[in-house]
Amino acid sequence: MKNVIPLLSAILGTLLLESCTENKAPAAATDTAASPGAMAAEDTARVSGRPCDIKLAGIHFTKAVNGADTLTTTDAQGGMDFRVGAKKDFFCDPNDNKLSNNTAPILLAQVDNSKPFTLVAKVTPGFTAKGTYNAGVLYLYVNDRRWQKHCFEQDERGNHRIVSVRTVGTSDDNNHDVVTGPTAYMKISSDTRTVASYYSLDQKTWQLVRLYKNDYPATLWAGVSAQCPVDTGTTSRFEGISLTQNSVKDFRMGN
> Is 20 a residue whose pLDDT tops 70?
no
* Residues of the chain above pLDDT 70, percent: 82
- Model confidence over 41-61: pLDDT tens digits? 334 444 679 999 999 999 999
Query: What pLDDT is recorded for position 8?
Result: 42
Mean pLDDT within 236-241: 98
Instruction: State mean pLDDT over 113-140.
Output: 98
pLDDT score recorded for residue 121: 98
Domain ranges, ordered by start, for the chain: 49-244
Give the predicted TM-score (pTM) of the model.
0.82
Domain 49-244: assigned CATH number: 2.60.120.200
Question: For residue 65, which of 94, 79, 45, 81 has the smallest C-alpha distance?
Answer: 45
On average, the pLDDT of the chain sits at: 86
> 168-196: buried (b, 16+ CB within 10 Å) or exposed (e) per residue?
eeebeeeebeebeeeebbbbbbbbeeebb
Cα gap 29→5, rounded to integer Å: 43
CA–CA distance, 146 with 169 (Å, rounded to integer): 6
**52-67: burial string, b at 16+ Cβ within 10 Å, e else:** bebebeebebbbbbbe
- Residue 228, pLDDT > 50, answer yes
Residue 226: CB atoms within 10 Å: 31
E strand or H helix that includes residue 22: helix 4-23
